[in-house]
Chains A and B, each alone.
Chain A
Amino acid sequence: MADSQASGPRGLVFVPKDGPRGDVLVLIHLRGGMDALHVIPPYADPDYSGPRPRLAVPPPGEPGGALDLDGTFGFHPALAPALDLYKAKRLAVVHACGSPDQTLSHFEAGRTLGRGVSDGRLTTTGWVARHLLTTPAGTASPLRAVALTRTRPAVLIGAPGTAVFQSLTQVVLDVPPDWGDAFGQVLTELYADGSDPVAVAGRQTLQLARDLGRIGCGENRARREVSYPKTKLGADLRQVARLIEAEVGLEVAVIDHDGWDSHIDQAAGLAGLIASLGAGLAAFATDLGDRVRQVTLVVVSEFGRRVRENSGLGTDHGRATAAFVMGGAVAGGRVYARWPGLHPDQLDANGNVRVTTDFRDVLAEIVCRRLHNPNVRQVFPGFNPSYLNLVAADQKV
């Protein structure tokens, strides 16, 4: 049973009951279908700019040009804050990555992505839920899995002990106003005695609700000179950093980042989002400090976008997208890609970039090597992963 020992100003530390402690997994879902050809442009591909006469990101050196990564790919200039992370080998990109599911529907693709299967109808549970179910509940923390989303995200359907809220201040007991504040106090007194699991869990939960109200997301909470972007993503990442710092037993945090469905005028529409993503990742890594070694952050999207720009200066739904992986154990500073090419002969029947890396190859490796869960076959049923050696598997206990 988890103890509650005083430690630092929060006074709340969850000690794992058994088994090695894995990384905290932070999952960011870019909703709408991230145009990987715009965010991490393959500027050196000869067939890149032809279909995108107005949208293609210029090569490095030109005005508004890409920030070079490896001679083939670059970052969109707005991603500049994340370039240091890349160069420090903390950040990796996996390109031409996606799902075997052919659907171009946001809903279905999001479902497939969240469920971690090749056909979204095979199950209703999320892959993260299955991961949580197949690992020992190292702590009895009510915040083992947290989603800073409006509703329970697909990845967490079926997960035990998930807390879904948009802000830490929401984790409260919703007592009717006419029952008064004293009601909560009487409830607290009911749980004041006893060393059985229920009494202990009750006390911890009540303490957590109080502490979370104090953690909040105020500017003065970051320990270092950290400047998060003033966007929802920035706020969410800051809250996750606070939760990690408070050691409340968090294992998984899920964040949604809306707005990537760039059908129209995407050069303008995406610039702010890309900047927010870059600045957010950079700020988060800085904020974590040394703790970044026990964190693996993954950025995914349900699909990518078509090579050819449309008449509205945007792009339509495509297939392959890209994923970012960031953390202390990431073999970063690389773009992992079995690049399929952008020549019309190399695209699929719908003119979309082919998927050459299943997103589950990335996720399964993280589940196994960073989250220390060997039950990959249950987390991703019907799938045989082949790892990219994206992350280190250290043997720490």
Chain B
Amino acid sequence: MKPFNRRDFLRYGAPAAGTAALAAVYDLQSRPPARPLPRIGESEAGESDPAWRILNRAGFGPCPGDLERVRAMGVDAYVEEQLDPDSIAESPTLLRRLDNLPGLTLDPPEARDYERAEQLDAAVSPFLRAALQLPNPTLGRGPGAVTKELRQACLLRAVYSARQLQEVMVEFWTDHFNIDQGKADCGWLKAADDRAIRRHALGKFRDLLAASAHSPAMLVYLDNTLNTLNPSGGPGNENYARELLELHTLGVDGGYSLRDVQEVARCFTGWGVKAGPDTWPGEFVFREAQHDPGPKVVLGRAIAGGLGRRDGEEVVDLVARHPATARNLARKLCRRFVADAEPQDLVAELAGVFERTDGDVRQVLAALFRSPHFRERPGRKLKRPFHLVAATLRALAAETDGLGPLAHLEAMGQPPFGHPLPDGFPDHVEAWVSGMLGRWTFAIDLMSGRMPGTRVDVGALVGATKELEPVAVCRALWRALTGRSPAKARMDAMIALGADLPAAGARWLALAVAGPDFQWR
């Protein structure tokens, strides 16, 4: 935990508070001059094209120029690059925008203060207040600042990060270790949890699981803060223990018993969160006095009494390395990347890789992307609403503050960190197809300029087709979004809507985004 002094906060806080008054998130002065876009829609691609597929599966979809770049370097080289995100220079645009979201990097006590917009230092505030001409004496952006910035950052990263596979895996683990920001203090506690997921997303699963088990956000979300030694001998709170086994590791068919749940709960008694004005609130703490000191038996393994906090650590090791866990995770990864109906032989193969590499996520993914299933016969995967929004903004080289689309994501049923149950947002097509109206509304609002803080430069996109005739422009725009040329009848209908460039381009793009082809990835 790094010491965090007031000066640090002012460095972040002052410009943040200033731009808060302007209600614009990113620093307008540092926006670079618009560069001309690479050519778009020149060639066909589509779901059977390896470059197209990798960009849409191992990422949130191509930006202008991505397809050509991946084709040139080769899919294998691209995958290798993406599996090593630290080697990829991060997008300056993204870094600039994240700089204006100080809530993301604050340590828990400051995060709590920033979330509640409490006054930090009476001697400073009047000065800042006068300097920034803010009527409000608080420094923060208003209540819920951290919560909101996390959601913004989530979308900004999906749209702008060069480390696309990392962002896809962060999304995967965020679903897997679901935390609903709406519960108690999880809104701002999630910031540290998000950093932990990010750190381990492509690392060893055991490390990720340990981080999750120690995460204050998780302990609050699944009520482990109430899991204390019961003096009358009855149970503590089993919620975390149950979800640890059922959702995070072995899976519902993983072969654990109700007794195992209870024993695991006993192991995690006393795992809690600091609170109160004199401690460092929002941090993990183990309270010996609340821990059940007796011996336990978990999944057939005896855990001696008196080990204190090591009980829980042993459980983490035990379940992280359990064969059922390997199968459960392999299945979920197949569902995310390959098909809703997970191919059983690939699941078995990846489970084997998982076990042989001691849970090395990077190696499991490498095996997945190399597999014939992925290369030759993946099933169709629907773009969930978050992926749809990110893919659209990427394909259209849109400028966004990450806030405007959040209302549409809420309407479509996938607000970041907003799933109300511990199982995370579902990942099969049936769960999402009733939301077509929301998808069309998103496409229309975006392309008609009705989305706040978000802008598509239709003129630049039309120019990037390098075509002049409306028919050719229409075809190129359609190809850029869907990978295919539109059928003649469709083309005729679109031209009939009006061929006044560039305005007609907005309508064609709206149709491309709203149309059935673009819903799949």
Contact = CB atoms under 8 A, between A and B. Distances in A.
Interface stretch (A49-57, A93-101, A121-129, A237-245): A121-129
Contact of B434 (A125, A137, A174): A137
B497 interface: yes
B175 to A, nearest CB: 14
A173 B497 contact: no
Given A173-B437, A173-B440, A129 B420 contact: yes
Interface string B479-508: 000000000011001101110000000010
A142 B497 contact: no
Interface stretch (B69-77, B155-163, B180-188, B396-404): B180-188
B435 to A, nearest CB: 6
B34 to A, nearest CB: 25
Contacts of B183: 122-124
A397 interface: no
Contact of A196 (B380, B419, B437, B497): B380
A378 B184 contact: no
Which among A123, A140, A185 has the highest number of chain B CB atoms within 10 Å?
A: A140
The A interface is mostly helix, strand or loop, or mixed, namely loop
Contacts of A186: 490, 493-494, 497, 511
A198 B519 contact: yes
B433 interface: yes
A112 to B, nearest CB: 14
A171 B420 CA distance: 26
B382 interface: yes
Nearest to A134: B421
Interface in A143-183: 144, 157-163, 171, 173-176, 179-180, 182-183
Contacts of B8: none
A190 B493 CA distance: 10
A175 B494 CA distance: 15
A388 interface: no
A143 B284 CA distance: 43
A209 interface: yes
B516 A183 contact: no
A290 to B, nearest CB: 28
B299 interface: no
9 contacts: A17-B430, A158-B418, A160-B431, A161-B435, A162-B413, A173-B437, A189-B490, A191-B516, A198-B429
The 10 A-B residue pairs whose C-beta atoms are closest, nearest first, are: A124-B182, A125-B420, A201-B433, A158-B420, A161-B434, A205-B436, A190-B515, A176-B448, A142-B434, A186-B493
Interface of B: 180-184, 380, 382, 413, 418-421, 429-431, 433-437, 440-441, 444-445, 448, 450, 489-490, 493-494, 496-498, 507, 510-511, 514-516, 519-520
Interface of A: 1, 17, 121-125, 129-130, 133-134, 137, 139-142, 144, 157-163, 171, 173-176, 179-180, 182-183, 185-187, 189-191, 194, 196-202, 205, 209, 378
